[in-house]
Amino acid sequence: MKKQAFCILFAVTVPLVMSVTPAMTAEPNPAKVEKLKNDGNDEFRKGNFEKAIELFTQAIELDSTYAFAYNNLGISLYEIGDYAGSVKNLQKAVALDSTYSKAFNSLGNAQFAFGDYAGAEESFRRSIELGPDIAQKHINLGNAYYAHGFWDEAIAEFEKAAGMDSRSAEAMNNMGAAYQRKGDIEKARESYMAATKIDSRYAQPLVNLGTIHYDNGRGDIDQAIEYYDKAIRIDKENVLANYNLGLAYSAKGDYNKALSALRNALKNAPEDPVILYSLGLTSAARKTYPSAINYYEKALAVNPGHPYARQALENAKQQSGN
């Protein structure tokens, strides 16, 4: 049951930066606005994002020209997954202060998460222009190019990041992902190996190395399994490593181990229709059709338009005699 390994080739890490600014002196109620901002920062650092949102909103109500409050509100909304709201407020921050480099970087992160890759590219470029010019900003821009399908542009940015920070395993891993998408497997492999040498506890390049071997055909399945196992030993909750390990064992016909790996993946992504569908396929391969039916139905409950699950469900019901 050979399938293409499911893989997000790079782990996107685009940290948001909370601004802490000097006390205000000219705005109305400056002391109160400053206290709201500081209290919001404290709540953000504690992970109390809803409370931080409330405090930053209050600061804006007192001073609607406070770019820093819009920035901090935007990144707080990002943390709770409100990417549209995050973009809206970060756009207000940069409109109020066109030299606000951190806000442009945060805006790029929010646009990336929202799926506006062209917008993210523009924001990240602007943040780089405003300075400081640091490696992470080039990684962010490279990630946006990658998501947009611009492999050469992505590679150029990852190379810049690696040149600025030779210890950036993330830059090397993401460069490998772009090379892999270009079809240059050898350079992809070299980049992934470099990432693992820089950081032996970084699971993602090991997952990606496994995927290279998996996609090379059955002859490399054992090598793929070895890489996935290494990744899981580093990060046992890694969804992609567990999922791809399940696919690899399925390709070998070892359905018991495949089910175990896929169930581990499901623990950390319980509503992922791709994992549920693969569990259904593996259960059907073992001829445990009631389990297959259960997984297919769950996949369809999450994604009624799944392109294969409905037909697979009907096949499993026929095989089970239902």
pLDDT (tens digit per residue) in 60-76: 999 999 999 999 999 99
pLDDT (tens digit per residue) in 201-246: 999 999 999 999 998 765 589 999 999 999 999 999 999 999 999 9
Q: Which domain holds residue 112?
A: 1-19+26-133
Residue 113 counted as domain residue: yes
What confidence tier does 321 reach under pLDDT thresholds 50, 70, 90?
confident
User: Cα–Cα distances in Å, from 174 out to 12, 139, 212, 308?
Assistant: 8, 8, 14, 31
Task: Using alpha carbons, select from 217, 278, 269, 220 the residue that is nearest to residue 246.
Answer: 278
Residue 48 counted as domain residue: yes
Residue 89 counted as domain residue: yes
Q: Tell me whether residue 304 is exposed, middle or buried, using C-beta atoms within 10 angstroms of its C-beta: 0 to 12, 13 to 18, 19 or more.
A: exposed
Q: Give yes or no for residue 248 having a pLDDT over 90.
A: yes
User: Cα–Cα distances in Å, from 170 out to 140, 150, 206, 244?
Assistant: 11, 18, 12, 21
Residue 37 counted as domain residue: yes
CATH of the domain at 89: 1.25.40.10
Alpha-carbon dihedral of residues 231, 237, 238, 243, nearest 10 degrees?
100
pLDDT (tens digit per residue) in 261-314: 999 999 999 999 999 999 999 999 999 999 999 999 999 999 999 999 999 999
Q: Residue 18: what pLDDT? A: 45
Residue 129 counted as domain residue: yes
Residue 72 counted as domain residue: yes
Contact by Cβ (8 Å): 93, 41 = no
Mean pLDDT of all residues belonging to the chain: 91
Residue 115 counted as domain residue: yes
**To which residue do tokens 């046992």 refer?**
236
**pTM summary value:** 0.85
Instruction: Quote the crossing angle between the two packed helices 185-198 and 169-182, to the nearest 10°.
Output: 170
Q: How many distinct structural domains can be found in the chain? A: 1
Residue 88 counted as domain residue: yes
Neighbours of 93 (CB within 10 A): 25
Question: Which tokens belong to 145?
Answer: 């190019």
- E strands along 49-200, which residues? none
Q: Residue 27: what pLDDT? A: 45
